[in-house]
Structure 1
Amino acid sequence: MKYLHLSDLHLGKRVNGFSMIEDQRYILEQIVEIIGEERPDGVLLAGDIYDKSVPSAEAVQLFDWFLSRLAEKSITVFAISGNHDSAERLAFGASIMAPGGVYFSPVYDGKVTVVTQKDDFGEIDIYLLPFLKPALVRPFFPEEKIETYTDALKKALECYPLHPQRRNILLTHQFVAGAERCESEEIYAGGTEAVDLTLFREFDYVALGHLHGPQNVGRENIRYCGTPLKYSFSEAKHQKSVTVVELEEKGSLRLRTILLKPLRDLREIRGNYMELTAKAYYEGMCREDYLHITLTDEEDIFDAAARLRVIYPNLMKLDYDNQRTRMDQSICAPEEVEQKTPLDLFGEFYALQNNQPMSAEQEKIIRELAEQIWEGEA
């Protein structure tokens, strides 16, 4: 059997105020082409299909388009809800779609949906376990002590003992202890949602969703495929991909990745204003990319963001790296203020804020302004 592992589409997401819907359609079209070339027996969608529990109309339309393209290719789909999804909305119509080869995890009711496929090597059981937290599992097992996320998943899984002679695949959307996070992921205080890796030791493959960086956790067969697009600048160095999973006889597993090329990359660049606005610097660069620009000028550039967007229209984030920003100082009232002139006080304030004294020209401007103010009061 061959499967394509996807997760965390986050359809409808906005990044720093920019809608990603056009980029998401572009990358889904690319994934549809890959599916047409690979001809997998199924697509594993491991949660966070949407970015919000009440997705926008355009996000729903895009997912409908994606499912329709897979249906045209007679590709079976296995999908679960993530922490960003509404399990109820995602499961709507699941019983109608299942005969057509589209399986959605239902709202958790104390049971786990298991779908069985068959090939020349025997049967494969695919467990669809949506995002769970203790509060969702506890009502169905009132006699059990379910306090942690590990407790919740352990109880949910142990109700369905695996057939040891079959190959078993688990789709789940959780944070597995030991995995690496990105800043675009929803994080719970103290890492309390982390689940123990040992819960998955009996599965032949665990298709994880939730974390945005592609990675194996502990073993090759426990894997986050990552997002198909970069959704934060902490992901700027990621190489996004889809994971192809091939299982033959029990114990045989082959994984490979197919790289994805976005419509617009998400990158970070830095330098002083004159350097970044020089034609020799940006000529030949893909200036439509989403950018985080760090200016190294010691003086703030007036209206820098607007001026830089003339060259880099998709500037998402702008900051400075200079003496002022590198110095983590708190600004407090100087001592013995009664003995200092307003010009002295302003000079100390400026030095604390900018980690350097005022220039002679700046002192002259402040002195003239102060004199004008004092003359007006007189």
Structure 2
Amino acid sequence: MKILHLSDLHFGKRLNNFSLLEDQIYVNQQIFQLAKNQKIDAVIIAGDIFDKSIPSADAVQLFDEFLNFWAELNLPIFIINGNHDSAERLSFGLNIFSHNNIYISPVYNGEIKSITLKDNYGNINFYLLPFLKPSMVRPFFSDEEIKSHTQALKIALKNLPLNKDERNILIAHQFVTGAVVSDSEEINVGGLDNIDAHIFDDFDYVALGHIHTPQTILRDTIRYCGSLLKYSFSEANQQKSATIIDITTKEQINITTFPIKPLHDMRKIKGSYAELTNRQNYINTNTDDYIFATLTDEEDIPDAINRLRSIYPNIMQLEYDNKRTRTNQIIDTSDINSLKTPIEFFNEFYQLQNNQGLNDAQMQIMQDLIDSIWEEQP
């Protein structure tokens, strides 16, 4: 059986006030074509379907179109809520959806929803574990001590009627200890939400969501498929992909990744304003990409980000890397009462802020300004 493993779609995502709706439609079309070409038998979405618990109308419409595609192919699709989703909203209509092979995890009630598919090798059991925190599990296991996320997940999984002779797949949306994160994930300080991967030992494959970087934990079959799009500039150098698992027997699980091409790539550029606006430096690049620009000019360029947008229309962020930004200067005011002229005080202040003194033209402008102020004093 060939199973497409997806997660972290984040429909409705906005990044630096840019809507990523067109980007998400673009990659969805690639996923649909991949499913057809590879003759997929089932689809997993391991959480974070939406970017917000109350999604926008556009996001809901996009999800509707997404589900319609799989329904038309009559493929079973297994969906759990992530930490960005509202479990109540996402599970709306789940009983009706199930008649069309769309299986959605319900709001957690102490039990884990399971669905069984059959192929030539027997049963494959899919367990839909929604995003959980200790506070969500405690009400249903009052006689258990549940302090950590690992304890909560271990107890939630403890009473599953798991047949170890059959193939068992767990779908989960948690932060497993050892996972490499990027800036776009919401991770608790100090690793309080860490899950020990050994609690998944009884499952043949664990389809994980939550971490946007594709990776495996402990073994190849405990896998984060990663997001289809880059959602922070810390992911700029990543190759995003879709994961397909091909399961025959319990011992034979093949994992293949297929690269995904974004509508707009996300990349960083660095140089002086003159270098970044030099046609020879950008002529052979995709200037429509989402850009993080770092200017190395010592002087701030007035309205730099809007001026750069004439070349890079989708520039998202701008920063400076120069003497001033590389040094955290402390202004010493211990000799504030010493006999110095106002222009000398200002020149010292400017030096501390910018790691260089006023030039002659700036010095003259400031002196004229100081003189005019002093003349107006009674």
CA distance in 2, matches of 1:39, 1:107: 32
CA distance in 2, matches of 1:290, 1:155: 44
Asked if 1:150 is matched to 2:142, the reply is no
Range that drifts further, 281-290 or 138-147: 281-290
**Moved runs in structure 1, 4+ residues, more than 6 A?**
none
Residue aligned with 1:367, SS:
helix
Amino acid at match of 1:117: L
Q: CA deviation at 1:221?
A: 0.4
Match of 1:64 in 2: 64
* 1:257-316 deviation line (CA, Å, top 9, x unaligned): 000001111110011101111111111321111100000111111110110011111010
Match of 1:312 in 2: 312
**Contact 1:225–1:241 at 8 Å: present in 2 too?**
yes
Range that drifts further, 33-42 or 230-239: 33-42
1:330-345 equivalence runs, <5 A: 330=330, 332-339=331-338, 340-345=340-345
CA distance in 1, matches of 2:353, 2:3: 56
Asked if 1:120 is matched to 2:130, the reply is no
Amino acid at match of 1:128: L
The percentage of aligned residue pairs carrying the same residue is 53
Q: CA deviation at 1:190?
A: 1.3
Q: CA deviation at 1:341?
A: 2.3
Match of 1:159 in 2: 159
* 1:168-221 deviation line (CA, Å, top 9, x unaligned): 100000000000011111121211000001111111110000001111112100
Amino acid at match of 1:264: H
CA distance in 2, matches of 1:225, 1:329: 44
Residue aligned with 1:270, SS:
strand
Residue aligned with 2:353, SS:
helix
Range that drifts further, 45-54 or 196-205: 196-205
Q: CA deviation at 1:359?
A: 2.0
Count of aligned pairs: 377
Cα RMSD (Å): 1.0
Amino acid at match of 1:335: S
Residue aligned with 1:337, SS:
coil
Range that drifts further, 204-213 or 277-286: 277-286
Amino acid at match of 1:149: H
Match of 1:137 in 2: 137
Match of 1:250 in 2: 250
Match of 2:322 in 1: 322
CA distance in 1, matches of 2:285, 2:19: 22
Q: CA deviation at 1:86?
A: 0.3
Residue aligned with 1:338, SS:
coil
Residue aligned with 2:337, SS:
helix
CA distance in 1, matches of 2:206, 2:370: 69
Q: CA deviation at 1:334?
A: 1.7
**TM-score in terms of structure 2 length:** 0.98
**Contact 1:297–1:322 at 8 Å: present in 2 too?**
yes
Q: CA deviation at 1:131?
A: 0.3
* 1:95-134 deviation line (CA, Å, top 9, x unaligned): 1111211000000000000111111111111110000000
CA distance in 2, matches of 1:195, 1:347: 55
Q: CA deviation at 1:161?
A: 4.0
**Contact 1:334–1:345 at 8 Å: present in 2 too?**
no
CA distance in 2, matches of 1:358, 1:188: 46
Range that drifts further, 345-354 or 135-144: 345-354
* 1:305-343 deviation line (CA, Å, top 9, x unaligned): 11001111101000011111111224x352121113222
1:88-237 equivalence runs, <5 A: 88-237=88-237
Match of 1:301 in 2: 301
Residue aligned with 1:103, SS:
strand
**Contact 1:181–1:212 at 8 Å: present in 2 too?**
yes
Q: CA deviation at 1:74?
A: 1.6
* 1:12-40 deviation line (CA, Å, top 9, x unaligned): 01001101111111111111111111121
Q: CA deviation at 1:251?
A: 1.2
Range that drifts further, 353-362 or 284-293: 353-362
Match of 1:26 in 2: 26
* 1:44-84 deviation line (CA, Å, top 9, x unaligned): 10000000000001000001001101111121100000000
Residue aligned with 2:345, SS:
helix
Match of 2:39 in 1: 39
Residue aligned with 2:152, SS:
helix
CA distance in 2, matches of 1:277, 1:7: 38
Range that drifts further, 189-198 or 277-286: 277-286
Q: Which runs of 5+ in 2 are unaligned?
A: none
Asked if 1:5 is matched to 2:5, the reply is yes
CA distance in 2, matches of 1:184, 1:148: 24
Residue aligned with 1:171, SS:
strand
CA distance in 2, matches of 1:108, 1:370: 69
Amino acid at match of 2:160: Y
